[in-house]
Amino acid sequence: MAILNILRYPDPRLHKVAQPVTVFDERLEKLVADMAETMYDAPGVGLAASQVDVHEQVVVIDTTETKDALQVFINPEILWASEEREVYDEGCLSVPGIYDGVERPARVKVRALDAKGQAFELEADGLLAVCIQHEMDHLKGKVFVEYLSPLKRNRIKTKLLKEERGMERAAQLRAQGRRF
């Protein structure tokens, strides 16, 4: 297993639409295992393959405190969403350190395949429902900050680009043997 590199907003690759998975093989099993390890290491509760620059419809989620109940959703589709909506403070491994309220359906029913290609359906509410919807947005090329106002979105983009420039500069200084 390996820790994968998580793309950071506003990386344009986060806006690529993921393609359906058609082959269930060792490569897919390794991708799922690497995504799970990456999510747990980050630490996060969900990760879409799009966030690690693999544009296939693969999502891993574990909303438990004990981090021992990994759920895999391949080619997920929402069959039903409640009319009732709730606002949750969402964060994202691709948008580190940023949390904001996003309104979504309170409950969903999803159909997907597991890592072996077996179909299943699941009804979810609470954090799991939010996670499913959030990660499925990634598969469509959408990041949660796109639900926010243009002003908030631009502030977030500016902040993250500034942080990235700072990290790049620090890496350059380290490569030159400088301490700071």
Residues annotated within a binding site for Fe cation:
92, 134, 138
- Specify binding-site residues: 92, 134, 138
Bridge partner list, 89: 101
Alpha carbon of 66 to those of 11, 32, 46, 69: distances in Å?
32, 19, 14, 8
| Residue of 26, 23, 70 whose CA lies nearest to 46 | 70
Beta strands in 50-177 (DSSP E): 58-61, 71-81, 85-92, 95-105, 107-113, 119-125
- Which of 135, 146, 163, 168 is catalytic? The answer is 135
Output the DSSP codes for 145-170. Answer: GGGS-HHHHHHHHHHHHHHHHHHHHH
Strands 71-81 and 95-105: unpaired
Which residue do the tokens 């969900």 mark? 46
135 is catalytic: yes
Catalytic residues: 135
